[in-house]
């Protein structure tokens, strides 16, 4: 069994996202893309899926300052590396395959559905590598990027500290200039995913630190390359202070790291001093899309597992069945089980559509499309947060389909639920995404980006289709809410931003309505081309579910937002 | 730190539920009740809370056919037994303390908040004991009930089988009559909580089985007492086939049991033949209220843990704060964190009010109040399901307050979330509760019970209070939806019941609005009596949150129900 639906992925790539147009004129054709996905599929099926339970039940151990993973992890990660997936999206000049981000992300989806915590190593390495590609010197690219593209070095992003989690202006790690232009790095970092392991020859940490004498707050943050093994042959003084014992996502080690405790940690500046946070946000934005893709993949994996169970498991009869000795029906024949399956389908499929759309926007941005960049910036908080919240909800439903069995570790659905619970937290919490959307993204250039998004959505809204009018209504309401909140934020930012998370959810639900519109329009084209099929009928029915059960939630949320509900803002700490 | 708010529990018992009136004229006074709660508190603090992590990380082991629990479990359970909590609600003639159910449940809440999976043993024993009290012979009461009341024997309920989980008509366990009036029991049971352990001298299984030749389906089910150790001195042939490896709730063993595989399992009929399911439903209904109380206790424990963290943890500054070197604020000062706390408070406090109300109805029913019985029947599916769904949601928010820390096992919130995920599944899934409510409870006597409930709610709705009008509106809408659905169910049951779960949620949200009305009315009386306080201000603000954010959800749900949305019913299995 696959942990995802290959037919749906093909449909999403070629029919919904129009990958054919994107790769037209490139070296890549449909067969080549399918070959890449086949490879991802095989690594997922052969290496990632089979060890899911084992690596969940045997979390990384802290042994003599080392992070020790179960033996089965390295062969799985090696297979992934050997297939070239870390370098897939990098240009051939650095040793990569030069694949479009859209294809790279499709493969990442397959691998994440097969095991999200194993796929974390690659995702982090790609993110770190891209930063060096963008801002590094030629020497830094040769020394660090190229071995990362080969998969010999892995990467990390080291932002948080014990006193500075979501508040990066408070980081205290210092970078003291040395005479040779390098820097002594001294500080403690927390929550570092893949911060310690023995899966690669070297680990390249990208570390946020402050050069003494620089400006206070975020304007004084610089970015440093701090490899575990330096190119001068020395081992850097980066020690593993401890591993976090997590609820899920266990094969990705999560570390507390001490830099330069014994004075022997040397790093190189990446790019210009005091510009580190803006660099890091490039990585962070890609990581956020990656988190959304991971959350979507987990939602998809739970959906597939619960769907297979629901088709197989006999239990009970229809409410009107009078004969208690009649054969039991498969539980998929119970309407409430179909509701639980539809709810999952209605969440995971548009989430995938958005993740793929974001990947196509990355490709278009790289090709110099300025509009794509603005649109991507606006969609990124949604692409990160919506699946983190609503594909987690889908995983809750997957457990429910299996009932008691779903609560045991004999089936993977409880693990998906635990794994996915991380996603609303890391790479900027759900609340932080809301602040990013309402406090920055929709306000930029007087709301020009948001206006462009609305125009873009309206390009897809035709007349007379089943879902066009309700989406237009929801979009119009979202515009009204956005104008209202933008004015509120302008007048009194603290109060105006108090409901940013609700706004984020409301915004996200409209975007997912748009995705369902695009999916059903693509399905209609397929029907016109190839005739109807159960697969295509399912798209329309799931869209109906979304428009009947989910999109209407935006009405209540909008009313709350337009009514300036200030219950949380006005609540006093002492009243709890 | 306590895992619950004692001040709130006192307020809920005396000011909201009117426990003073309930115990007026009995031997019990306020000091005595407080003494009982103090004892529960002490056992919770001294024995249950401190071992929470240890017994989660060391799940029961299957060793040579035995279920072996960590060593720390027995002293904790012994302390609970020694304090007399198992016998608390039984009459003195059987060795109990004769406490009202309301007081017993308040103590159960304290203990469940301290560790829900340890408190499971007592809950199951009480439920089984009550069945023997209701339907057993004098000999059975002496032989089984009295040692259970003493806490020497524990009890179980054995319903499910591999092919019969939610569908009890399909159970295959046989009870073959013996010449001496006893029965040979042969069959396999699944999901048996507390089915094997070494915490008590004996385990009294109450087993559903079919006497050959009886009617098919549920009408042929009888109930048997099957002790592990028989009173004829023999050990019954009940073998532990395996333990389930659960996501949470780990200290309550969950077992597959084989009865009479070697032909040596003898049971006694409890009550009349073929009447077993109706007997079991007495236990089941109490267990359902208990599940709701457990879900509420877990919600409360997460709320308290996240509240304490939010007050202590410094991080970030207000959006308008300009000075990055200014002291960081406690995260409770961020509006979005207060939202996450308010959302928890808004869920767990009315859930507790409903659980306590149900306990008072049990007391009134036992005193012969027929109206109380009908009202309790109608509220039971809500008391079970609403906290299972929405206090689980509260636990999700508790993790979010802690951020990355909440995702680690260093803090208890992720464990509460895992523990609570069981509650929408066991003792009748969320979907089964919906069918019970819409397919049976609201239809009984032409809707008389529902009418009485609406009258009862309107007794509390005064005029002009902040929450009266919106609750009246929501109730009127619920009446409309109920009439509409009752007609649909009458006309086409399979289709009419397809949205029963949504109806359950909608119904539950109105009930919780009623609970908030009662809580704020009680708070107003306290203010009039003792003056205002932060505690009482918090009640009003949390009610405002509920009425602003939660109750309006019933509008959308009602529209869906009144519109006869049939998306899930019409979905075909092949379209997924």
**Phi-psi bin for A481: left (phi > 0), alpha (psi -120 to 50), beta?**
alpha
Within a domain: residue A352? no
Query: B169 with B130, same domain?
Result: no
| Chosen from A342, A424, A568 to mutate, greatest number of chain B CBs within 10 A | A568
Q: Count how many pairs of residues, chain A against chain B, have C-beta atoms within 8 Å.
A: 269
Mean pLDDT of B548-567: 97
- Among A253, A274, A295, which residue terminates a domain? A274
Query: B49 with B184, same domain?
Result: no
Q: Please answer whether residues B170 and A328 qualify as being in contact, where contact means their C-beta atoms are separated by less than 8 angstroms.
A: yes
| Chosen from B242, B347, B497, B567 to mutate, greatest number of chain A CBs within 10 A | B567
| Chosen from B256, B335, B509 to mutate, greatest number of chain A CBs within 10 A | B335
| Three-class DSSP category at B326 | coil
Residue A240 sits at the vertex; the CA angle it makes with A274 and A206, to the nearest 5 degrees, is: 25
| Chosen from A11, A192, A247 to mutate, greatest number of chain B CBs within 10 A | A247
Which residues on B lie below 8 Å from A537 (Cβ)?
Answer: 572, 575
Mean pLDDT of A458-483: 95
Question: Distance, in angstroms, between A336 CA and closest chain B CA?
Answer: 6
Q: Please answer whether residues B117 and B57 qualify as being in contact, where contact means their C-beta atoms are separated by less than 8 angstroms.
A: no
Query: A25 with A149, same domain?
Result: yes
Catalytic residue, chosen from B268, B286, B349, B427, is B427
Which residues on B lie below 8 Å from A421 (Cβ)?
Answer: 396, 399, 407, 414, 417
- Could you tell me the residue range of the domain that residue A524 belongs to? 429-567
DSSP string computed for A138-181: HHHIIIIIHHHHHTSEEEEEE--BTTBSS-GGG---EEEE-TTS
Nearest to A153 by CA among A116, A121, A119, A113: A121
Within a domain: residue B327? no
In angstroms, the CA A101 to CA A88 distance is 9
Within a domain: residue B162? yes
Q: Residue B502 pLDDT > 80, yes or no?
A: yes
Neighbours of A455 (CB within 10 A): 9
Query: B34 with B170, same domain?
Result: no
Q: Residue B356 pLDDT > 90, yes or no?
A: yes
Nearest to A228 by CA among A165, A152, A160: A152
Mean pLDDT taken over chain A: 96
Nearest to B517 by CA among B540, B501, B487: B540
Residues, chain A: 576
Share of chain B above pLDDT 70, in %: 100
Q: Please answer whether residues B499 and B560 qualify as being in contact, where contact means their C-beta atoms are separated by less than 8 angstroms.
A: yes
- Among B153, B179, B198, which residue terminates a domain? B153
- B400 and A218 within 8 Å at the Cβ level: the answer is no
Query: A16 with A144, same domain?
Result: yes
- Give the per-residue pLDDT at B383: 98
- B325 and A216 within 8 Å at the Cβ level: the answer is yes
Torsion sign across C-alpha atoms A278, A280, A283, A289: negative
Of A332, A553, A572, the CB nearest to B573: A332
Q: Please answer whether residues A203 and A220 qualify as being in contact, where contact means their C-beta atoms are separated by less than 8 angstroms.
A: no
Of A245, A429, A552, the CB nearest to B403: A429
| Three-class DSSP category at B202 | strand
Mean pLDDT of A219-236: 97
Structure tokens at A404: 């008691």
Q: Residue B524 pLDDT > 80, yes or no?
A: yes
pLDDT tens for each residue of B260-319 = 999 999 999 999 999 999 999 888 888 999 999 999 999 999 999 999 999 999 999 999
**Phi-psi bin for A210: left (phi > 0), alpha (psi -120 to 50), beta?**
beta
Within a domain: residue B508? yes
Q: Please answer whether residues B397 and B306 qualify as being in contact, where contact means their C-beta atoms are separated by less than 8 angstroms.
A: yes
Nearest to A538 by CA among A302, A303, A299, A356: A303
- Give the per-residue pLDDT at A226: 98
DSSP structure class, residue A196 = S
**Number of independent structural domains in chain A:** 3
Of A160, A560, A573, the CB nearest to B311: A573
Of A169, A392, A400, the CB nearest to B430: A400
Mean pLDDT of B205-220: 96
Q: How do beta strands A153-158 and A202-210 pair? A: parallel
Which residues on A lie below 8 Å from B403 (Cβ)?
Answer: 165-166, 425, 429
Number of H helices, E strands in chain B: 21, 10
Burial class (CB in 10 A: 0-12, 13-18, 19+), B160: buried
Structure tokens at A111: 């691998």
- Give the per-residue pLDDT at A322: 86
Q: Please answer whether residues A419 and A413 qualify as being in contact, where contact means their C-beta atoms are separated by less than 8 angstroms.
A: no
**φ/ψ (deg, to 5) at A245:** -95, 105
In angstroms, the CA B40 to CA B80 distance is 8
Query: B546 with B510, same domain?
Result: yes
- Give the per-residue pLDDT at A165: 86
Mean pLDDT of A494-502: 97
Matching residue, tokens 């337009």? A562
Neighbours of B510 (CB within 10 A): 25
Structure tokens at B243: 């333990």
Q: Calculate the alpha carbon distances from A13 to A20, A101, A186, A356, B572 in Å.
A: 8, 12, 46, 7, 25
Which residues on B lie below 8 Å from A315 (Cβ)?
Answer: 164-167
- A430 and B334 within 8 Å at the Cβ level: the answer is no
In angstroms, the CA A235 to CA A229 distance is 5
Of B169, B403, B498, the CB nearest to A166: B403
Which residues on A lie below 8 Å from B439 (Cβ)?
Answer: 319
Query: B148 with B221, same domain?
Result: no
- Among A103, A119, A153, which residue terminates a domain? A153
Within a domain: residue B409? no
Within a domain: residue A370? no
Structure tokens at A369: 């499309």
Structure tokens at A373: 């960049």
Which residues on B lie below 8 Å from A431 (Cβ)?
Answer: 334, 336-337, 400
What's the predicted TM-score (pTM) here? 0.98
- Give the per-residue pLDDT at A501: 98
Question: Distance, in angstroms, between A250 CA and closest chain B CA?
Answer: 11
In angstroms, the CA B430 to CA B421 distance is 11
Question: Distance, in angstroms, between B195 CA and closest chain A CA?
Answer: 15
Query: A75 with A142, same domain?
Result: yes
A162-166, A274-278, A545-549, B507-511, range with the lowest pLDDT:
A162-166
Query: B213 with B129, same domain?
Result: no
SS3 labels along B447-458: HHHHHHHHHHHH
Q: So what's the ipTM on this one?
A: 0.98
Which residues on B lie below 8 Å from A571 (Cβ)?
Answer: 338, 341-342, 538, 541, 545
Of B335, B556, B563, the CB nearest to A555: B556
- A568 and B339 within 8 Å at the Cβ level: the answer is yes
| Residues of A annotated as part of the active site | 427
- Closest chain B residue to A534, measured at CA: B575
Share of chain A above pLDDT 90, in %: 96
What's the CATH code of the domain at A82? Answer: 1.10.540.10
Query: A142 with A177, same domain?
Result: no
Mean pLDDT of A176-196: 98
Query: B149 with B169, same domain?
Result: no
Q: Residue B1 pLDDT > 80, yes or no?
A: no
DSSP structure class, residue A72 = T
| Three-class DSSP category at A320 | coil
CA A108 to chain centre: 10
Query: B78 with B206, same domain?
Result: no
Structure tokens at B88: 């608390």
- A170 and B328 within 8 Å at the Cβ level: the answer is yes
Burial class (CB in 10 A: 0-12, 13-18, 19+), B106: buried
Q: Please answer whether residues A478 and A507 qualify as being in contact, where contact means their C-beta atoms are separated by less than 8 angstroms.
A: yes
Within a domain: residue B336? no
Within a domain: residue A359? no
In angstroms, the CA A34 to CA A46 distance is 18
Q: Residue A1 pLDDT > 90, yes or no?
A: no
- Closest chain B residue to A218, measured at CA: B324
Of B245, B404, B568, the CB nearest to A342: B568
- Which band of pLDDT confidence, cut at 50, 70 and 90, is reported for residue A166? confident
Q: Please answer whether residues B371 and B411 qualify as being in contact, where contact means their C-beta atoms are separated by less than 8 angstroms.
A: no
Question: Distance, in angstroms, between B132 CA and closest chain A CA?
Answer: 27
- B425 and A408 within 8 Å at the Cβ level: the answer is no
List all residues 6 or more positions away from A473 whose beta carbon is below 8 Å from its beta carbon. none
- Give the per-residue pLDDT at B519: 98
């Amino acid at each position: 069994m696959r942990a995802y639906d290959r037919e749906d992925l093909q449909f999403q790539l070629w029919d919904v996202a129009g990958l054919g147009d994107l790769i037209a004129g490139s070296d890549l054709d449909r067969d080549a893309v399918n070959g890449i996905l086949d490879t991802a599929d095989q690594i997922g099926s052969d290496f990632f899926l089979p060890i899911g339970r084992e690596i969940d039940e045997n979390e990384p151990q802290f042994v003599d300052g080392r992070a020790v993973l179960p033996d089965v992890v390295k062969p799985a990660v090696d297979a992934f590396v050997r297939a070239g997936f870390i370098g897939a999206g990098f240009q051939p000049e650095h040793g990569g395959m030069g694949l479009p981000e859209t294809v790279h992300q499709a493969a990442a989806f397959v691998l994440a559905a097969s095991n999200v915590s194993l796929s974390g190593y690659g995702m982090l390495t790609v993110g770190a590598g891209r930063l060096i590609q963008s801002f590094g010197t030629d020497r830094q690219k040769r020394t660090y990027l190229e071995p990362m593209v080969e998969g010999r070095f892995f990467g990390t992003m080291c932002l948080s500290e014990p006193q500075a989690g979501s508040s990066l202006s408070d980081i205290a790690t210092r970078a003291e200039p040395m005479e040779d232009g390098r820097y002594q790095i001294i500080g403690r970092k927390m929550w570092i995913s893949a911060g310690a392991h023995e899966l690669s020859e070297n680990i390249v940490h990208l570390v946020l630190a402050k050069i003494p004498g620089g400006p206070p707050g975020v304007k004084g943050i610089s970015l440093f390359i701090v490899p575990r093994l330096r190119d001068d042959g020395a081992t850097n003084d980066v020690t593993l202070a401890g591993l976090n014992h997590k609820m899920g996502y266990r094969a990705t080690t999560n570390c507390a790291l001490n830099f330069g405790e014994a004075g022997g940690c040397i790093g190189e500046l990446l790019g210009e001093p005091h510009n580190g946070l803006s660099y890091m946000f490039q990585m962070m934005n890609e990581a956020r899309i990656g988190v959304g893709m991971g959350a979507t993949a987990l939602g998809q994996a739970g959906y597939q597992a619960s769907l297979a169970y629901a088709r197989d498991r006999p239990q009970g009869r229809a409410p009107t069945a009078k004969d208690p000795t009649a054969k039991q029906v498969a539980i998929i024949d119970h309407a409430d089980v179909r509701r639980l399956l539809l709810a999952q389908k209605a969440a995971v499929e548009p989430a995938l559509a958005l993740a793929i759309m974001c990947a196509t926007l990355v490709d278009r941005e790289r090709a110099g499309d300025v509009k794509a960049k603005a649109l991507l910036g606006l969609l990124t908080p949604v692409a990160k947060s919506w699946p983190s919240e609503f594909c987690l909800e889908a995983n809750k439903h997957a457990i429910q389909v299996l009932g008691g069995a779903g609560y045991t570790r004999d089936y993977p659905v409880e693990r998906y639920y635990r794994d996915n619970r991380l996603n609303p937290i890391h790479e900027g919490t759900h609340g932080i995404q809301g602040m990013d959307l309402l406090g920055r993204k929709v306000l930029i250039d007087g709301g020009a980006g948001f206006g462009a998004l609305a125009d873009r959505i309206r390009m897809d809204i035709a007349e007379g289709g089943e879902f066009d009018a309700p989406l237009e209504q929801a979009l119009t309401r979202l515009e009204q809410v956005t104008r209202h909140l933008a004015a509120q934020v302008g007048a009194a930012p603290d109060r105006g931003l108090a409901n940013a998370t609700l706004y984020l959810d409301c915004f996200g639900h409209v975007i997912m309505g748009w995705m369902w519109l695009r999916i059903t329009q693509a399905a209609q084209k397929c029907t016109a081309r190839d005739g109807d099929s159960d697969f295509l009928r399912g798209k329309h029915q799931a869209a109906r579910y979304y428009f009947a059960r989910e999109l209407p939630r935006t009405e209540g949320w909008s009313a709350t937002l337009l009514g300036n509900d200030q219950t949380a803002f006005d609540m006093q700490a002492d009243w709890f």
